[in-house]
Amino acid sequence: MTGSESLTLDLAVRPPSKAGWQRRERLIAALFLAPGMIYLFAMAVYPTVYSLWLAVHNYTIYRPDLVSYAGFDNFNDLLNNEVFSGSFFVTVIYSAAAVALELVIGIAVAVLLDRKMRGIGLFRTLLIVPVLISPVGMGLTFRYILAPTYGLLTYLCHRVGIPTADWMASATWALPAVILVDVWQWTPFVALILLSGMQSVSVEVVEAAELDGLSEWQKLRRIVLPLIRPVLMVVVLIRLIDSIRVFDMVFVLTRGGPGTATETLSVFSYVTGFTEGDMGSASALAWVMVVFVNILVFFFLRALSKAEG
Protein backbone atom coordinates (compact mmCIF):
# COMPACT_ATOMS: atom_id res chain seq x y z
CA MET A 1 0.00 0.00 0.00
CA THR A 2 2.63 2.48 1.07
CA GLY A 3 4.75 1.45 -1.88
CA SER A 4 2.07 2.31 -4.47
CA GLU A 5 1.36 5.60 -2.75
CA SER A 6 4.94 6.71 -3.11
CA LEU A 7 4.77 5.63 -6.76
CA THR A 8 1.78 7.92 -7.41
CA LEU A 9 3.56 10.75 -5.64
CA ASP A 10 6.57 10.20 -7.83
CA LEU A 11 4.39 10.36 -10.93
CA ALA A 12 2.73 13.53 -9.70
CA VAL A 13 6.10 15.23 -9.41
CA ARG A 14 7.19 14.15 -12.83
CA PRO A 15 5.16 15.03 -15.92
CA PRO A 16 3.13 11.94 -16.76
CA SER A 17 4.23 11.35 -20.35
CA LYS A 18 7.05 12.16 -22.69
CA ALA A 19 4.74 14.23 -24.87
CA GLY A 20 3.53 16.15 -21.85
CA TRP A 21 7.08 16.76 -20.72
CA GLN A 22 8.01 18.07 -24.16
CA ARG A 23 5.02 20.38 -24.20
CA ARG A 24 6.04 21.76 -20.81
CA GLU A 25 9.64 22.19 -21.99
CA ARG A 26 8.45 24.14 -24.99
CA LEU A 27 6.34 26.38 -22.80
CA ILE A 28 9.25 27.06 -20.47
CA ALA A 29 11.55 27.75 -23.44
CA ALA A 30 9.01 30.24 -24.76
CA LEU A 31 8.81 31.91 -21.35
CA PHE A 32 12.61 32.20 -21.17
CA LEU A 33 12.87 33.55 -24.69
CA ALA A 34 9.86 35.88 -24.58
CA PRO A 35 11.18 38.81 -22.51
CA GLY A 36 14.25 39.27 -24.69
CA MET A 37 12.38 38.76 -27.96
CA ILE A 38 9.53 41.09 -27.03
CA TYR A 39 12.07 43.67 -25.98
CA LEU A 40 13.95 43.41 -29.27
CA PHE A 41 10.74 43.66 -31.28
CA ALA A 42 9.62 46.72 -29.35
CA MET A 43 12.97 48.49 -29.18
CA ALA A 44 14.83 47.44 -32.34
CA VAL A 45 12.38 46.15 -34.95
CA TYR A 46 9.63 48.66 -34.27
CA PRO A 47 11.94 51.72 -34.47
CA THR A 48 13.37 50.41 -37.75
CA VAL A 49 9.87 50.04 -39.20
CA TYR A 50 8.93 53.45 -37.83
CA SER A 51 12.01 54.82 -39.55
CA LEU A 52 10.72 53.41 -42.84
CA TRP A 53 7.38 55.12 -42.19
CA LEU A 54 9.22 58.41 -41.60
CA ALA A 55 11.19 57.88 -44.80
CA VAL A 56 8.00 58.07 -46.88
CA HIS A 57 6.67 61.15 -45.07
CA ASN A 58 7.50 64.82 -44.90
CA TYR A 59 8.30 65.26 -41.24
CA THR A 60 10.04 68.25 -39.80
CA ILE A 61 11.26 68.26 -36.23
CA TYR A 62 9.96 71.80 -35.70
CA ARG A 63 6.36 71.18 -36.79
CA PRO A 64 5.57 67.50 -36.21
CA ASP A 65 1.87 68.34 -36.62
CA LEU A 66 2.44 69.15 -40.31
CA VAL A 67 3.38 65.57 -41.23
CA SER A 68 2.24 64.50 -44.71
CA TYR A 69 2.66 61.49 -46.96
CA ALA A 70 5.54 61.92 -49.39
CA GLY A 71 5.72 58.60 -51.21
CA PHE A 72 9.19 58.10 -52.63
CA ASP A 73 9.94 61.84 -52.78
CA ASN A 74 12.56 61.64 -50.03
CA PHE A 75 14.38 58.85 -51.88
CA ASN A 76 14.09 60.67 -55.22
CA ASP A 77 15.45 63.83 -53.67
CA LEU A 78 18.42 61.87 -52.41
CA LEU A 79 19.22 60.56 -55.87
CA ASN A 80 19.23 64.11 -57.24
CA ASN A 81 21.19 65.46 -54.30
CA GLU A 82 24.87 66.00 -54.96
CA VAL A 83 25.61 66.00 -51.26
CA PHE A 84 24.16 62.50 -51.04
CA SER A 85 26.25 61.10 -53.89
CA GLY A 86 29.26 62.88 -52.37
CA SER A 87 28.51 61.40 -48.98
CA PHE A 88 28.05 57.97 -50.47
CA PHE A 89 31.42 58.33 -52.18
CA VAL A 90 33.08 59.51 -48.96
CA THR A 91 31.69 56.51 -47.09
CA VAL A 92 32.89 54.06 -49.74
CA ILE A 93 36.41 55.58 -49.78
CA TYR A 94 36.51 55.70 -46.00
CA SER A 95 35.44 52.07 -45.55
CA ALA A 96 37.54 50.67 -48.37
CA ALA A 97 40.71 52.54 -47.42
CA ALA A 98 40.37 52.02 -43.67
CA VAL A 99 39.59 48.31 -43.87
CA ALA A 100 42.28 47.62 -46.50
CA LEU A 101 44.93 49.37 -44.41
CA GLU A 102 43.76 47.70 -41.20
CA LEU A 103 43.96 44.31 -42.90
CA VAL A 104 47.43 44.78 -44.39
CA ILE A 105 48.95 46.38 -41.29
CA GLY A 106 47.00 43.97 -39.08
CA ILE A 107 48.53 40.95 -40.82
CA ALA A 108 52.00 42.47 -40.51
CA VAL A 109 51.55 43.21 -36.81
CA ALA A 110 50.12 39.74 -36.18
CA VAL A 111 53.13 38.13 -37.85
CA LEU A 112 55.47 40.35 -35.84
CA LEU A 113 53.80 39.47 -32.55
CA ASP A 114 53.65 35.77 -33.41
CA ARG A 115 56.89 34.84 -31.69
CA LYS A 116 58.34 33.28 -28.62
CA MET A 117 59.68 36.04 -26.50
CA ARG A 118 59.82 36.80 -22.84
CA GLY A 119 56.95 39.15 -22.00
CA ILE A 120 55.30 39.00 -25.43
CA GLY A 121 51.98 38.36 -23.66
CA LEU A 122 52.21 41.74 -21.96
CA PHE A 123 52.75 43.51 -25.27
CA ARG A 124 49.85 41.68 -26.89
CA THR A 125 47.63 42.74 -24.01
CA LEU A 126 48.77 46.33 -24.25
CA LEU A 127 47.77 46.31 -27.90
CA ILE A 128 44.12 45.99 -26.84
CA VAL A 129 44.20 49.42 -25.22
CA PRO A 130 43.53 51.45 -28.42
CA VAL A 131 40.48 49.25 -29.12
CA LEU A 132 38.96 49.99 -25.73
CA ILE A 133 39.35 53.76 -25.80
CA SER A 134 36.12 55.43 -26.88
CA PRO A 135 36.19 56.56 -30.51
CA VAL A 136 35.42 60.03 -29.14
CA GLY A 137 38.54 59.91 -26.96
CA MET A 138 40.68 58.51 -29.78
CA GLY A 139 39.35 61.04 -32.30
CA LEU A 140 39.99 64.02 -30.04
CA THR A 141 43.45 62.76 -29.04
CA PHE A 142 44.37 62.81 -32.71
CA ARG A 143 42.74 66.18 -33.15
CA TYR A 144 45.23 67.44 -30.55
CA ILE A 145 48.19 65.70 -32.19
CA LEU A 146 47.21 67.03 -35.64
CA ALA A 147 46.30 70.56 -34.44
CA PRO A 148 47.76 73.29 -36.68
CA THR A 149 49.87 75.41 -34.31
CA TYR A 150 50.56 73.31 -31.22
CA GLY A 151 50.01 69.77 -32.53
CA LEU A 152 52.86 67.34 -32.06
CA LEU A 153 52.78 66.05 -35.63
CA THR A 154 52.75 69.57 -37.03
CA TYR A 155 55.74 70.41 -34.83
CA LEU A 156 57.64 67.29 -35.92
CA CYS A 157 56.92 68.03 -39.58
CA HIS A 158 58.30 71.55 -39.12
CA ARG A 159 61.44 70.16 -37.53
CA VAL A 160 62.05 67.72 -40.37
CA GLY A 161 61.03 70.23 -43.00
CA ILE A 162 57.88 68.55 -44.29
CA PRO A 163 55.22 71.08 -45.32
CA THR A 164 52.22 71.01 -42.99
CA ALA A 165 48.59 71.96 -43.29
CA ASP A 166 45.63 72.56 -41.04
CA TRP A 167 44.87 68.89 -41.66
CA MET A 168 41.30 68.85 -40.38
CA ALA A 169 40.37 72.03 -42.23
CA SER A 170 41.92 71.00 -45.54
CA ALA A 171 39.63 69.50 -48.19
CA THR A 172 42.52 67.30 -49.34
CA TRP A 173 43.80 66.10 -45.98
CA ALA A 174 40.72 65.83 -43.79
CA LEU A 175 39.52 62.49 -45.16
CA PRO A 176 42.96 60.80 -45.06
CA ALA A 177 43.38 62.13 -41.51
CA VAL A 178 40.06 60.68 -40.39
CA ILE A 179 40.93 57.36 -42.03
CA LEU A 180 44.28 57.40 -40.21
CA VAL A 181 42.48 57.64 -36.87
CA ASP A 182 40.16 54.77 -37.77
CA VAL A 183 43.19 52.69 -38.74
CA TRP A 184 44.88 53.58 -35.47
CA GLN A 185 41.92 52.48 -33.40
CA TRP A 186 41.03 49.26 -35.21
CA THR A 187 44.27 47.75 -36.56
CA PRO A 188 45.03 46.19 -33.15
CA PHE A 189 41.58 44.59 -33.23
CA VAL A 190 42.33 42.99 -36.60
CA ALA A 191 45.86 42.00 -35.59
CA LEU A 192 44.86 40.26 -32.36
CA ILE A 193 42.11 38.26 -34.03
CA LEU A 194 44.37 37.17 -36.89
CA LEU A 195 47.02 36.21 -34.36
CA SER A 196 44.49 33.94 -32.66
CA GLY A 197 43.60 32.47 -36.02
CA MET A 198 47.26 31.80 -36.82
CA GLN A 199 47.62 29.90 -33.58
CA SER A 200 44.92 27.47 -34.66
CA VAL A 201 46.96 26.37 -37.69
CA SER A 202 48.27 22.87 -36.95
CA VAL A 203 51.94 21.97 -36.65
CA GLU A 204 51.67 19.18 -39.26
CA VAL A 205 50.52 21.50 -42.02
CA VAL A 206 53.33 23.93 -41.35
CA GLU A 207 55.95 21.17 -41.16
CA ALA A 208 54.73 19.75 -44.46
CA ALA A 209 55.10 23.18 -46.03
CA GLU A 210 58.61 23.46 -44.65
CA LEU A 211 59.53 20.05 -46.09
CA ASP A 212 58.31 21.32 -49.45
CA GLY A 213 60.84 24.10 -49.10
CA LEU A 214 58.43 27.03 -49.04
CA SER A 215 59.85 30.38 -48.03
CA GLU A 216 58.41 32.32 -45.09
CA TRP A 217 56.51 34.60 -47.41
CA GLN A 218 55.13 31.64 -49.38
CA LYS A 219 54.09 29.92 -46.17
CA LEU A 220 52.14 33.00 -45.13
CA ARG A 221 50.60 33.62 -48.54
CA ARG A 222 49.88 30.08 -49.65
CA ILE A 223 49.32 28.11 -46.44
CA VAL A 224 48.47 30.22 -43.41
CA LEU A 225 46.27 32.95 -44.89
CA PRO A 226 44.13 30.48 -46.88
CA LEU A 227 43.74 28.32 -43.77
CA ILE A 228 42.53 31.22 -41.65
CA ARG A 229 40.29 32.54 -44.42
CA PRO A 230 37.06 32.05 -42.42
CA VAL A 231 38.42 34.18 -39.56
CA LEU A 232 39.76 36.69 -42.06
CA MET A 233 36.31 37.00 -43.64
CA VAL A 234 34.62 37.50 -40.28
CA VAL A 235 37.04 40.25 -39.28
CA VAL A 236 36.88 42.04 -42.61
CA LEU A 237 33.08 41.99 -42.63
CA ILE A 238 32.79 43.22 -39.03
CA ARG A 239 35.12 46.09 -39.85
CA LEU A 240 33.37 46.88 -43.15
CA ILE A 241 29.95 47.02 -41.55
CA ASP A 242 31.15 49.07 -38.60
CA SER A 243 33.06 51.52 -40.80
CA ILE A 244 30.04 52.06 -43.06
CA ARG A 245 28.05 53.04 -39.97
CA VAL A 246 30.83 55.24 -38.56
CA PHE A 247 29.69 58.38 -36.79
CA ASP A 248 31.43 59.38 -33.57
CA MET A 249 35.03 59.43 -34.75
CA VAL A 250 34.22 61.54 -37.81
CA PHE A 251 31.86 63.79 -35.90
CA VAL A 252 34.36 64.76 -33.20
CA LEU A 253 37.20 65.18 -35.69
CA THR A 254 35.58 67.24 -38.45
CA ARG A 255 31.77 67.24 -38.06
CA GLY A 256 31.78 66.13 -41.70
CA GLY A 257 33.75 69.16 -42.89
CA PRO A 258 35.42 71.06 -44.30
CA GLY A 259 32.32 71.54 -46.42
CA THR A 260 31.21 67.97 -46.93
CA ALA A 261 34.70 66.49 -47.43
CA THR A 262 34.32 63.93 -44.64
CA GLU A 263 30.54 63.70 -44.40
CA THR A 264 29.88 59.97 -44.16
CA LEU A 265 26.31 58.69 -44.53
CA SER A 266 25.72 58.61 -40.75
CA VAL A 267 26.97 62.16 -40.30
CA PHE A 268 24.95 63.36 -43.31
CA SER A 269 21.84 61.72 -41.89
CA TYR A 270 22.46 63.31 -38.47
CA VAL A 271 22.93 66.75 -39.99
CA THR A 272 19.83 66.38 -42.18
CA GLY A 273 17.69 65.19 -39.28
CA PHE A 274 18.92 67.17 -36.32
CA THR A 275 20.53 70.30 -37.73
CA GLU A 276 18.09 70.85 -40.60
CA GLY A 277 15.20 69.12 -38.86
CA ASP A 278 14.20 67.08 -41.91
CA MET A 279 13.49 63.75 -40.22
CA GLY A 280 11.87 62.29 -43.33
CA SER A 281 14.92 62.69 -45.56
CA ALA A 282 17.24 61.66 -42.73
CA SER A 283 15.25 58.45 -42.34
CA ALA A 284 15.29 57.75 -46.07
CA LEU A 285 19.05 58.12 -45.88
CA ALA A 286 19.25 55.85 -42.87
CA TRP A 287 17.24 53.25 -44.76
CA VAL A 288 19.66 53.31 -47.66
CA MET A 289 22.27 52.35 -45.06
CA VAL A 290 20.04 49.70 -43.51
CA VAL A 291 19.76 48.00 -46.91
CA PHE A 292 23.49 48.18 -47.64
CA VAL A 293 24.49 47.05 -44.19
CA ASN A 294 22.09 44.14 -44.29
CA ILE A 295 23.54 42.86 -47.56
CA LEU A 296 26.91 42.75 -45.82
CA VAL A 297 25.36 41.24 -42.70
CA PHE A 298 24.04 38.41 -44.85
CA PHE A 299 27.57 37.59 -46.00
CA PHE A 300 28.85 38.08 -42.47
CA LEU A 301 26.43 35.55 -41.00
CA ARG A 302 27.44 33.05 -43.67
CA ALA A 303 31.12 33.62 -42.94
CA LEU A 304 30.47 33.29 -39.23
CA SER A 305 28.65 29.99 -39.65
CA LYS A 306 31.62 28.72 -41.65
CA ALA A 307 34.17 29.95 -39.13
CA GLU A 308 32.26 28.32 -36.29
CA GLY A 309 32.36 25.08 -38.25
Q: Please give the residues from 239 up to 278 whose contact with another protein meets the rule CB under 8 A.
A: 241, 244-245, 247-248, 251-252, 265-266, 269-270, 273-274
CB 49: neighbour CB atoms within 10 A?
A: 10
Q: How far is the CB of 22 from another protein (least distance, A)?
A: 8
Integer CA distances (angstroms), 237 to 92, 188, 232, 294, in order:
14, 16, 9, 11
**Nearer Cβ to another protein, position 1 or 298?**
298
Q: Does 230 bind another protein (CB under 8 A)?
A: yes
Give yes or no for a contact between 57 and 67, defined as CB atoms under 8 angstroms apart: yes
Q: How far is the CB of 67 from another protein (least distance, A)?
A: 10
Q: Does 224 bind another protein (CB under 8 A)?
A: yes
**Nearer Cβ to another protein, position 1 or 63?**
63
**Nearer Cβ to another protein, position 1 or 113?**
113
Dihedral pair phi/psi, residue 301, rounded to 5°: -65, -35
Q: How far is the CB of 154 from another protein (least distance, A)?
A: 9
**Nearer Cβ to another protein, position 88 or 184?**
184
| C-alpha dihedral, 301 to 302 to 304 to 309, nearest 10° | 140
**Nearer Cβ to another protein, position 1 or 122?**
122
**What is the b/e burial string over 103-116, where b = at least 16 CB atoms within 10 angstroms of the residue's CB?**
bebbbebbbebeee
Q: How far is the CB of 20 from another protein (least distance, A)?
A: 14
Q: Does 76 bind another protein (CB under 8 A)?
A: no
**Nearer Cβ to another protein, position 1 or 285?**
285
**What is the b/e burial string over 172-209, where b = at least 16 CB atoms within 10 angstroms of the residue's CB?**
ebbbebbbbbbbbbbbbbbbbbbbebbeebeeeeeeeb
Q: Does 11 bind another protein (CB under 8 A)?
A: no
Task: Kindly identify the residues of this chain, within the stretch 92-151, that bind another protein according to CB under 8 A.
Answer: 109, 112-138, 140-145, 149-151
| C-alpha dihedral, 171 to 177 to 183 to 185, nearest 10° | -120
| One-letter amino acid for residue 308 of the chain | E
Q: How far is the CB of 233 from another protein (least distance, A)?
A: 9
Residue 264's Cβ-count burial label (10 Å; 0-12, 13-18, 19+) is buried
**Nearer Cβ to another protein, position 1 or 105?**
105
Task: Kindly identify the residues of this chain, within the stretch 180-219, that bind another protein according to CB under 8 A.
Answer: 184, 187-189, 192-193, 195-203, 205-207, 216, 219
- Residues in contact with another protein, counted by CB under 8 A, come to a total of 122
**Nearest-CA neighbor of 226 among 243, 209, 211?**
209
Q: Does 43 bind another protein (CB under 8 A)?
A: yes
